A and B are shown apart, each in its own frame.
Chain A
Amino acid sequence: MASRVGRLRAVYSLMAEPPWPTLIVITMLGWGAMLLFSHELALSSLCVAATGAWYDQGWRSLQAMLAFVSPAHIALSWLLMLTAMMTPILAGPLYHLWVRSLARRRWRAIGVFIAAYLVVWMGMAPVLVLFVALLRIAATWFSVPVGGLAVAIALVWQASPVKQFCLNRCHWTPRLGAFGWSADADCARYGLVNGLWCVGTCWALMLVPITAIDMPMHLGLMVIIAVVMVIERLQPAKPARWRFPVGR
Chain B
Amino acid sequence: MVYVRKSVWANGGGFSDPILFWYAKGVGALKQKPLSDKTGWRFMAAVHGIDKNLWQQYGYYTPGETMPSQADQDLFWNQCQHQTWYFIPWHRGYVWSIEGLVRAEIVKQGGPADWAMPYWNYSDTQNPQARMLPPAFACKTLPDNSENPLYVAQRYGQGTLPLVLPAADVTLEALLQPRFTGTGAGALSGFGGLKTGFSHSGMVSGRLENHPHNIVHVDVGGENNMGPGLMSDPDTAGLDPIFWLHHANIDRLWMVWNSTPGHLNPTDAAWLNGPMDRKFVMPTVDGTDYFYTPDEMQDTTAAPLNYIYDQQQASANVARMAAAPVAPQAGTQAKGMAMDDEKPAELVGANAAKLSLVGVGAKTSVKLDSALSRKVTQSFKSMRTFAASSPTAGDATPTTSDHVLLNIENIRAARDAAVVDVYVNLPDGAKPEDRLDLLAGTIGFFGVRKASLPDQPHGGMGISEVFDITRIVENLEAEGTLAVDNLSIDLIPRKAVSEDAGITVERISVYRQEQ
Contact = CB atoms under 8 A, between A and B. Distances in A.
Interface of A: 1-3, 6-7, 9-14, 17, 95, 99-103, 164-165, 168-169, 171-179, 182, 234-240
Given A178-B367, A239-B455, A14 B276 contact: yes
Given A178-B350, A237-B455, A6 B272 contact: yes
B268 A13 contact: yes
In the A-B complex, list the 9 residue pairs whose CB atoms are closest, starting with the nearest: A171-B459, A9-B269, A99-B185, A236-B457, A237-B459, A1-B291, A2-B273, A175-B507, A178-B350
A175 B479 CA distance: 33
A175 B351 CA distance: 10
B369 interface: yes
A14 B409 contact: no
Interface in B308-332: none
B354 A10 contact: no
Given A2-B274, A6-B269, A236-B199, 9 more contacts: A1-B279, A6-B272, A6-B293, A95-B185, A102-B346, A171-B454, A176-B350, A234-B197, A234-B198
Contacts, number: 120
Contacts of B197: 14, 17, 234
Nearest to A99: B185
Interface in B137-191: 184-186
B4 to A, nearest CB: 28
A14 B273 contact: no
Contacts of B344: 99
B201 interface: yes
Nearest to B200: A236
26 contacts: A3-B273, A6-B272, A6-B273, A9-B273, A10-B276, A13-B268, A99-B186, A99-B344, A99-B347, A102-B369, A103-B346, A168-B455, A168-B459, A171-B460, A172-B460, A175-B354, A176-B507, A179-B349, A179-B367, A179-B369, A234-B277, A235-B277, A236-B199, A237-B454, A237-B460, A238-B455
Nearest to B355: A175
A17 B199 CA distance: 14
A1 B292 contact: yes
A107 to B, nearest CB: 14
A12 B410 contact: no
Interface in B348-384: 348-350, 352, 354, 367, 369, 372
B199 A178 contact: no
B265 to A, nearest CB: 15
A10 B367 contact: no
B184 A99 contact: yes
What does DSSP make chain A's interface, helix, strand, loop or mixed? loop
Given A103-B346, A237-B460, A10 B454 contact: no
B459 A236 contact: yes
B293 A2 contact: yes
Contacts of B346: 102-103
A86 B456 CA distance: 24
A178 B349 contact: yes
A17 B195 contact: yes
A15 to B, nearest CB: 9
Interface in B279-293: 279, 291-293
B460 A168 contact: yes
B458 interface: yes
Q: Which of B198, B277, B367 has the most CB atoms of chain A within a 10 A radius of its CB?
A: B198
B270 interface: yes
B347 A11 contact: no
Contacts of B200: 236
Contacts of A178: 347, 349-350, 367, 369, 509
Nearest to B349: A178
Contacts of A7: 273, 276
B506 interface: yes
A182 B454 CA distance: 25
What does DSSP make chain B's interface, helix, strand, loop or mixed? loop
B73 to A, nearest CB: 12
Nearest to B353: A175
A10 B269 contact: yes
Interface string B479-515: 0000000000000000000000000001101000000
A168 B279 contact: no
B454 A100 contact: no
Nearest to B459: A171
Nearest to A186: B507
B461 interface: yes
A135 B144 CA distance: 76
B199 A235 contact: yes
A100 B198 CA distance: 20
A112 to B, nearest CB: 16
B171 to A, nearest CB: 29
A171 B199 CA distance: 12
Nearest to A13: B270
A248 to B, nearest CB: 12
Given A103-B346, A236-B457, A175 B273 contact: no
Q: Which of A173, A237, A240 has the most CB atoms of chain B within a 10 A radius of its CB?
A: A237
Contacts of B274: 2, 10
A22 B347 CA distance: 22
A13 B69 CA distance: 35
Q: Which of A1, A11, A171, A238 has the most CB atoms of chain B within a 10 A radius of its CB?
A: A1
B293 A1 contact: yes
A175 B195 CA distance: 22
Q: Which of A6, A173, A175, A234 has the most CB atoms of chain B within a 10 A radius of its CB?
A: A175
Q: Which of B293, B344, B347 has the most CB atoms of chain A within a 10 A radius of its CB?
A: B347
A102 B184 CA distance: 16
Nearest to A239: B455
A236 to B, nearest CB: 4
Interface string B445-489: 000000000111111110000000000000000000000000000
A4 to B, nearest CB: 10
A165 B184 CA distance: 29
A175 B276 contact: no
A178 B459 CA distance: 24
A227 to B, nearest CB: 14
Q: Which of A7, A100, A168, A179 has the most CB atoms of chain B within a 10 A radius of its CB?
A: A100
A185 to B, nearest CB: 12
A173 B201 CA distance: 14
A234 B507 contact: no
B188 to A, nearest CB: 14
A12 B369 CA distance: 37
Nearest to A12: B269
B461 A14 contact: no
Given A2-B293, A103-B346, A178-B369, A13 B279 contact: no
A105 to B, nearest CB: 9
